[in-house]
Chain A
Amino acid sequence: MSNASGTIFGINGPVVYLKNAPDFQMGEMVYVGKERLVGEVISLKGDTTSIQVYEETSGMKPGEPVVGTGSAISVTLGPGILNNIYDGIERPLEKIAETSGKFITRGIVAPALDEDKLWDVTMKVQEGDVIHGGQIIAECPETASIVHRSMMTPLIPTATVKSVQPDGKYTVKDTLMTVELPDGTTKDLTLAQKWPIRTPRPAVQRMASAEPLVTGQRVLDTVFPIARGGTAAIPGGFGTGKTMTQHSIAKFSNANVIIYIGCGERGNEMTEVLEDFSKLEDPQTGNKLMARTALIANTSNMPVAAREASIYTGVTLAEYYRDMGYDVAIMADSTSRWAEALRELSGRMEEMPAEEGFPAYLASRLSAFYERAGQMRVLSGNVGSVSIIGAVSPQGGDFSEPVTMNTKRFVRCFWGLDKALAYARHYPAINWMQSYSEYVGNLAKWYNDNVDPKFVAERTRLVAILHAEDKLMETVKLLGSDVLPDDQKLTLEIARVIRLGFLQQNAFHPDDQNVPLKKQFFMMDTILYLYDKARKLVAMGHPMAVLKSENVFEKVIAMKYDVPNDKLEMFDDYKKMIDDFYDHVIEKNA
């Protein structure tokens, strides 16, 4: 079958129209114009075929040819994805820079994976084996952190291995083995495979996740935890710290693989991630962070159609590593830019807009994206997960706009960033009144078994104190705090300790930037111990002014800096200090 072809009829920005070209399929990848720019068929209406082009269309003329490829827009999956930076359609930016220099020019063809590099391959199947789609066929060390497990593409349900090459050094293009399909045809398998980005990769079974994705951030891990395979949204106006939060999670979380999608964001930020992650160490393995990271960069001045694709490219790469049995976390910064790309393309095609100009299918696209997260039993028999953490940039910082509203329907963690907190430089500026996590119940058993049996109960108390403070602040705003009775003053004081000493976390302090769960628990425990002791004193009639003169509150606030992450026994001293404070107040005021 020959591929569809046609000529350009009209050009409107990134959208190109063809007339009378009925052979193209929906979603097909095409080459547009003399420069053979990559495009995708996005609508077929009567005699008009619309194509979105993933590069700038300046200088293109009606009458230039369009050629189909017969297959949907796909990415190449294989070793070499990690420690790499790609554009929205998986072209390696480093290779593009080698050809075109500092600026990204058009029509550059660069294979996604290094085709000359030799990988040290160990075969995992033998001649005569009957293998199924998704089964691991060969392994090679991809980076210092990750062993790459190549699998037979899930598109082939089952096959018999006819011949296998010996273990040794192979490129991604070399045939590793030949398999025979049930219909008698043979197929050569390599380290790499192709997969269409808009189709979720299949798995055996979705599992309920009972383990947290530990991020090292107290307000997340303790207060609003996310499970492995979970979904979270980070909405916030500009300057509230979406990107900083995503960077912290990408650096410190205990995922095996990080896919960082810079979708319509700043070029300097991608450079920062690239520079930092090439230098910083992965706290899990001690290797460089880039050894577990792949970056996808479609900066805000890169073509808008590729921005729409970048999200799907990223999630497909993530699913591929999940299929190897790894825990993968996706940072999508920012899903609003992706939604705006949808809106822009929809507008160019003159579709009927729904809310605020966004197309009516915004909600279904968002849900389809977030549904690709999950902890799964994968075809190779392992368990792997994809967690999606998507930043949302609401217009005007208003959470009632369509992207935030719709995202909220499909995620189970909501980490709402707050301008007022950011203005006061309270970082991470996650508003504890607006945010929530639906995973707390699922994870309770894990916290009970792995951190401390009191963990969940204490977390509940911590949140309750913050809510009590919020109520009291309504009075304080009207009348000042002096009019409150002492027990309420104490609530305010403890809430202050929680805010400054626990929720606030310094991303630049070597000990405070990444806090192990045990320390998070001891900090929470110490604060609540102080609360209980102080409450007893207040009940005995000691006024808050006396309690505050003791400086114990300030010492507890400073424990995040004063207790190193590997000296948790120091928390015993804090309890002793609080006991001394208790005795001292009683003694002095007896």
Chain B
Amino acid sequence: MAIEYLGLKEVNGPLVVLEGVQNAAFDEIVEFTVGGDEKKLGRIIEAYEDKAVIQVFEGTEGMSLVNTSTRLTGRPMEIPLSGEILGRTFDGIGRPIDGLGPIVAKVRRDVNGLPLNPCRREYPRNYINTGISAIDGLTTLIRGQKLPIFSGNGLPHDQLAAQIVRQANLGAGADQSRFGIVFAAMGVQHDVADFFRRTFEESGVSDHVTMFLNLANDPVVERLITPRAALTAAEYLAFEKHMHILVVMTDITSYCEAMREVSSSKGEIPSRKGYPGYLYSDLASLYERAGIVAGQEGSVTQIPILTMPNDDITHPIPDLTGYITEGQIVLDRSLDGAGIYPPISILPSLSRLMKDGIGEGYTREDHQSVANQLFSSYAKVNDARSLASVIGEDELSDTDKKYLEFGRHFEDEFIGQGMEENRTVIETLDLGWKLLGILPRTELDRIDGKILDKYYRPYEED
């Protein structure tokens, strides 16, 4: 029989201090009974011989120094898992909230997970066709990759993520029943969660979706567990049920802000912008849980969404994320303002794994060349534009004028596409060649002569 401790020493924000506690383990989960009936969960974040600092998941409202009793569970944070979690909805710490009753657990797993041994990883090589030109053509998503969307408040990142989820497929001939989605919402508004729920229902995938919801008005400390619970579920489905799991996590910024809040109430020394020094390690412990295990079916692919505070890509959250993830898709407010959807700013966008998952045998031989040339030419469009804004468009050289024309077509036709429009990768590449045709052949300096001979055609208005 476990001992119950009556009373608390201190309550400070989301943290409580318990004194006289014995046998408390670091990272252990405790159960509180508040006022005789209300139950709360907490986690020990500092353990000493005679006291423990505990972080309370549901918030410390209603707790007093005398009305709380505490029981140690002897376990770290675990969630019950079975194949039946597909199609279910949970709260931020993995309790069912869809009224369908508890999960009949096959196994319980520690939400913190364990690092995947680099010797047992398989290097990701298979691309996921999203049907979106800017992604498939220029920042190809690879199965087992972590590719975040860097967005800003008010930009259509949710629509883009939903479109990826709707259109993503494992390629022709693959068994679609092996495909599943784990969705983790951290501190998002109710209607955003609802938007995703509706999208999943309308596209008929909702029986392959597991949702973990921590909404904007849910306790912040729970938010720190939500992505871990979701990734634990994803790892279970991928590595034990051998499914291909796409994890969509939104919004990483709320998650980091929750971390900052908890850190400051712990009295930790802040590093940049008040975020704790371990922000990098903590984010890595989420993002690194994407991957493929060598020699077995199944993968975890992550699309984390974060809103850059004040659209600043050098802010610690996008900055540290970019250092961990394998590329990023950056959304841009001026493209959005010009009515282009999806407003993907291609120059800062990157997919690190794309080089090994495209080309002959995967997509088409010319894919890398076309992508390089489009990036390089579009970079020159920006130079030409800034020059035009100084000396006027009429004064530009003929080549620069061609670049301006190319830029306009590229943004409207290549980047821009409909929310329901699903292009094949071949259509995307052909479109890329069509637009490169606007430029004189001598300007295409990133492409081998042989490939140019085969694909380059001067542009014709249609």
Once the chains are docked, how many angstroms separate the CA of A426 from the CA of B314? Answer: 21
Given known contacts A62-B24, A104-B115, A301 and B288 CB-to-CB distance under 8 angstroms: yes
Once the chains are docked, how many angstroms separate the CA of A214 from the CA of B454? Answer: 37
Once the chains are docked, how many angstroms separate the CA of A102 from the CA of B120? Answer: 5
Tally of B interface residues using CB under 8 Å: 82
Given known contacts A57-B26, A268-B353, A395-B316, A274 and B280 CB-to-CB distance under 8 angstroms: no
Residue of A12, A481, A500 with most partner-chain B CB within 10 A: A12
**Chain B contacts of A58 at CB under 8 A?**
25-27, 76, 110, 112
Given known contacts A300-B284, A357-B271, A424 and B376 CB-to-CB distance under 8 angstroms: yes
B165 CB to nearest chain A CB (Å): 23
Q: Does A112 contact B (CB under 8 A)?
A: no
Q: Does B278 contact A (CB under 8 A)?
A: yes
A399 CB to nearest chain B CB (Å): 12
Q: Does B326 contact A (CB under 8 A)?
A: yes
Q: Does B4 contact A (CB under 8 A)?
A: no
Contact with B along A275-294 (1 / 0, CB 8 A): 10000000000000000000
Chain A contacts with B in 1-60, Cβ cutoff 8 A: 8-13, 17, 19, 56-60
Contact indicator A267/B116 (Cβ below 8 Å): yes
Closest residue to A85 on the B side, CB-wise?
B119
Contact indicator A558/B449 (Cβ below 8 Å): yes
Q: Does A441 contact B (CB under 8 A)?
A: no
Once the chains are docked, how many angstroms separate the CA of A473 from the CA of B379? Answer: 16
Contact of A271 among B121, B328, B446 (CB under 8 A): B121
Once the chains are docked, how many angstroms separate the CA of A476 from the CA of B386? Answer: 11
**Chain B contacts of A356 at CB under 8 A?**
271-272
Given known contacts A239-B350, A300-B281, A344-B281, A477 and B120 CB-to-CB distance under 8 angstroms: no
Tally of A interface residues using CB under 8 Å: 80
**Chain A contacts of B239 at CB under 8 A?**
102
- Which of A69-77, A90-98, A316-324, A407-415 contacts the other chain? A90-98
Contact with B along A248-270 (1 / 0, CB 8 A): 00000000000000101011101
**Chain B contacts of A93 at CB under 8 A?**
117-119
Once the chains are docked, how many angstroms separate the CA of A557 from the CA of B446? Answer: 11
Given known contacts A9-B49, A62-B47, A239-B322, A297 and B118 CB-to-CB distance under 8 angstroms: yes
Contact of A397 among B268, B281, B314 (CB under 8 A): B314
Q: Does A371 contact B (CB under 8 A)?
A: no
**Chain B contacts of A558 at CB under 8 A?**
449
Chain B contacts with A in 402-438, Cβ cutoff 8 A: none
Once the chains are docked, how many angstroms separate the CA of A275 from the CA of B449? Answer: 31
Once the chains are docked, how many angstroms separate the CA of A58 from the CA of B76? Answer: 8
Once the chains are docked, how many angstroms separate the CA of A424 from the CA of B371? Answer: 11
Once the chains are docked, how many angstroms separate the CA of A343 from the CA of B328? Answer: 27
Q: Does A245 contact B (CB under 8 A)?
A: no
**Chain A contacts of B98 at CB under 8 A?**
none
> A residues bordering B, Cβ < 8 Å?
8-13, 17, 19, 56-63, 85, 93-94, 96-97, 100-105, 237-239, 262, 264, 266-268, 270-272, 274-275, 297, 299-302, 304, 337, 340, 343-344, 347, 350, 353, 356-358, 393, 395-398, 419, 423-426, 476-482, 500, 508, 551, 554, 557-558, 561
Complex A-B: 27 CB contacts under 8 Å: A10-B49, A57-B26, A59-B25, A59-B27, A60-B25, A61-B23, A62-B24, A63-B23, A85-B118, A93-B117, A101-B117, A239-B352, A267-B115, A268-B124, A268-B291, A268-B353, A270-B118, A272-B356, A300-B281, A347-B269, A357-B269, A357-B272, A395-B316, A395-B320, A397-B314, A423-B379, A561-B448
